[in-house]
Structure 1
Amino acid sequence: MAAVWAVLGSGAAWAANPVPPAAAARAAKPAALTASAPATNATRQAVSRQIPEPEPETGPRGYAVPIGGALKADNEEVWQRIVQLAGGKGSRWVVFGTASEDPEFSARQAVELLQRRGAVAEALPVAPKFSWVDLNKVVRDPALIAKVKAAHGVFFTGGVQERIVSVLQPGGQTTPMLEAIWDVYRKGGVVAGTSAGAAIMSTVMFRDAPSIINVMKGRFTDGKQVDRGLGFVGPDLFVDQHFLKRGRFGRMIPLMLAKGYKLGLGVDENTAAIIHGDDVEVVGGRGALVVDLTDATSDAAMSAFNVTGARLSYLEHGDHYHLKARSTTPSAPKLRGELHDAESPNFKPYYTEDVFSLDMLGDSTIANLMTRLIDSSRTEVKGVAFDALPREGDALAELGFLFRIYKGSDSLGWSTEEFGGEQFTVANLYLDIRPVRLPIPIYGTWGQKPAAPAAAGSASGAATGGSTAPQAAPEAAPAAQVQP
């Protein structure tokens, strides 16, 4: 569905107070960033000084690098950086084409791209598509395991993520090959993966969930749409890929709620997140979204998925996010650029119109709305997501979702035009999602009288400020069959 924005002359507030309740409990902005302070360069640079010193690391000391897929061969920011992290020129890499439909081609391509940056790389024959290979023996082969242990970096290609997990951790049992990969990581090496190779990074992963709206409707179960990952980023961070391009924040939040995650990291295509201890650095061509549910709530009395007060931060190349402090440090060019602080008397927003999106799960819609809102005089933007072509007989065909993104007292943005165009960092916007009824079909012949009045709380009512509260579909959405 193409992304469509409707610019409205006015819009009704979701609630009388747009500031989330959680914001009052948070630490106040640094003194240099209060509304009375001018937005000088020194003020902007003070942001990074407010971040507490990280605690000494006691766990793995390596680098986990989920890459959001569609990684271009000329993306020097990513390819050169992971080689540098592994020791630079001459660093040894092993490549797993395990997930791929054509593992020989995929692995060979990754080997060539790593070698082009000075690495010494080798593909290992560990893939279900190699019909002549006995996988049970390969993952225990002393010679291959020795090659892994001698490596400084491990790279997983894209494809089908369940193949990686089922080969390296069949039935949840760690193989000697996987233990050797962990050995590389614990010694300070790099474990990187693109697309499917990124999905395996958390302890839980989406295995096969192409329909985001179905996940939002509660249609996901363990062993089918959801499965175990390999956990290189630890037990407290959930990772997803192709994230902004495919609107996957819509599936991330329901899974995070079901599994008890408080932090989620969605990495977009042609982009990497370098995770080292407490620090996440975004590098590459697009961006990443951090979803923080620490103070979010969900109303079990509603008959479908909902969330209130999810905190969102959008990062681009060179930005850092600090997992323990839940804080953002923009890149140096953005700190030299423009600060967007709605509470400052110096704030001069570019946008003044209300916006309502008809496709919240569209290509980069969430990032576009966040960067627009932080540079706007408005305090919120809204939109809907729904299934425009539901299956015949679907009891939840009319179940849609109303989104509200809004500013809090700690919402900040930074932007720069140093590299042509405009790059943004946005910290601490908030998101509410509520179930609504969207009658199907959503349109009819012009001039023809509708068969029945529009349902209360429809998308148009929400967009134009109708006073009737959105109503959930009468059929209860199934509870997700997952274990917390």
Structure 2
Amino acid sequence: MARPAAGAPLLKAAPAKAAPAKGSLVIIGGNLRPANGAVWERIVKLAGGKGAGIAVFASASGNPERSGKSLVELLNSYGAKAFFVPVAVKLAGSDYQAAADDPQLAQAVRNAGGAFFSGGDQSRITRALRHEDGSNTRVLDAVWDMYRRGGVIAGSSAGAAIMSSTMFNRPRTVLATLKLGVADGQEITEGLGFVGNDVFVDQHLLVRGRFARMLPAMLAKGYKLGLGIDEDSAMVVSASREVEIIGYKGALVLDLAGASVHEGAFNIDNVRVSYLDNGDRFNIATHAFTPAADKADGKLDPSRPYYREPLFSADILGNATVVDLMSKLIDSDQPEAIGITLGSPNGVQPDLGFEFRFTRTADSVGYQSAYNDAYSIYNVRLDIRPILIRRPLYQYK
């Protein structure tokens, strides 16, 4: 089989001439709480409503039987008729390869209204559902058939990572990824590609500062668009490629269409970054943003800024720091905001750090909720450049 050209997203996940999927995706950033009814209820609704059959894949879990049982019970508590799919590398007393090609099991999945992929290790999902030569098992073909027919595929954490045709496999820390990059078959590998070959997906995004590691992966595989979703939140992707955010927090859109990369240490200009809050929408095809109903009348007036002091963060990769800084910038009299990141003096390349410079442009726009201080921020420019950290760090006198 011919290898894909360098820089191109991998294409194995779906047959080249397959019909467009009529179904939906619910891409969850991980740590989805049982009480987050907005997400669980949407999954059941998209699967067909009360009594809908949902195939539960705990393939990524270290304890698939326990995880699968819990997910089945939880989905059923929201009105589904879920069932466990015994295709998992770690499932005791089971031949996962035989199960993945079992015709009856495949038919049960095909007849379902949806599938749910649990968190854990995403490489266990692809190992369980693909043959060693990379071809689909019968059960994976059945998932695709269900999705193309109009069903829903939901996945949390590892189950979100498999949604794009490239996924992280054995990644380093975020900062080390910026310093050392990614390599095919090591830090990144093939996902299942349900969202299409033109969008890169990542999860646990804001809590763990992972937006920064998306950029080296996207550049390595030629992606122009990336979607990253935070914990206890979901991106619902319709057949028309409209993305809606639901849940606790939100998502970042990374647009590299106009970006330029420089030689040497990681150095990129003109990344377009947008933050989608709960209820916001984004169209993958048109790149149009639509704020949630509670923000529709809350477009910010640049002549009436709230923040009036220089904006800076010493830990841009901290929990939700990037959104906090962007929120202040879009409602500020400042033209830019700066964040930096540096690592341990005992870590890899300790003298190398990075500056993240966020700039408001003519295309930048923000909206604020009528009920709280939540913001939606669209089209902020991001430039990242390497900086020298002088060691040791001396005490100021």
Q: TM-score, normalised by structure 2?
A: 0.92
Partner of residue 408, structure 1:
361
User: How many Å separate the matches in 2 of 1:341 and 1:188?
Assistant: 42
Structure 2, unmatched stretches of 5+, are 1-17
Question: Aligned ranges for residues 39-118 of structure 1 at < 5 Å?
Answer: 59-118=20-79
Partner of residue 365, structure 1:
321
Q: Please list the CA deviations of residues 208-252 of structure 1 after superposition, one character each: whole Å capped at 9, or x if unmatched.
A: 214011110124222221111000000000000000110011100
State the percentage of identical aligned residues: 44
**Larger relative contact order, structure 1 or 2 (CA cutoff 8 Å, min sep 6):** 1
Partner of residue 258, structure 2:
295
C-alpha displacement of 1:85: 1.1
The letter for the 1-side match of 2:299 is L
User: How many Å separate the matches in 2 of 1:440 and 1:58?
Assistant: 57
Q: Please list the CA deviations of residues 268-306 of structure 1 after superposition, one character each: whole Å capped at 9, or x if unmatched.
A: 000000112321111101110000001111123xx1111
Q: 2:389 aligns with which of 427, 438, 444?
A: 438
Q: 2:131 aligns with which of 170, 195, 202?
A: 170
8 Å Cα contact 1:334-1:415 kept in structure 2:
yes
The letter for the 1-side match of 2:108 is K
Residues 412 and 293 of structure 1, relative CA distance in 2, 3 Å threshold: same
Q: TM-score, normalised by structure 1?
A: 0.76
C-alpha displacement of 1:446: 4.7
Q: 2:209 aligns with which of 243, 247, 253?
A: 247
Q: Per the alignment, in what secondary structure is the counterpart of residue 31 of structure 2?
A: coil
Between the two proteins, the alignment pairs up a number of residues equal to: 378
Q: Please list the CA deviations of residues 167-210 of structure 1 after superposition, one character each: whole Å capped at 9, or x if unmatched.
A: 11233211111000001100010000000000000000011214
Partner of residue 5, structure 2:
none
Q: 1:131 aligns with which of 63, 68, 92?
A: 92
8 Å Cα contact 1:93-1:155 kept in structure 2:
yes
C-alpha displacement of 1:445: 4.0
Partner of residue 192, structure 1:
154
The letter for the 1-side match of 2:162 is I
Q: Which has the larger radius of gyration?
A: 1
User: How many Å separate the matches in 2 of 1:377 and 1:203?
Assistant: 41
Q: Please list the CA deviations of residues 69-115 of structure 1 after superposition, one character each: whole Å capped at 9, or x if unmatched.
A: 01000101100011111111111101011101111121112111211
Between stretches 216-225 and 97-106, larger displacement belongs to: 216-225
Question: Aligned ranges for residues 224-243 of structure 1 at < 5 Å?
Answer: 224-243=186-205
User: How many Å separate the matches in 2 of 1:157 and 1:199?
Assistant: 11
8 Å Cα contact 2:89-2:127 kept in structure 1:
no
8 Å Cα contact 1:341-1:412 kept in structure 2:
no
Matched, 1:349 2:290: no
Q: Per the alignment, in what secondary structure is the counterpart of residue 71 of structure 1?
A: coil
Structure 1, unmatched stretches of 5+, are 1-56, 448-484
C-alpha displacement of 1:317: 1.2
Task: List structure 1 segments (4+ residues) > 2 angstroms apart after TM superposition.
Answer: 388-391, 443-447
User: How many Å separate the matches in 2 of 1:339 and 1:367?
Assistant: 17
User: Cα RMSD (Å) of the superposition?
Assistant: 1.4
Partner of residue 342, structure 2:
386
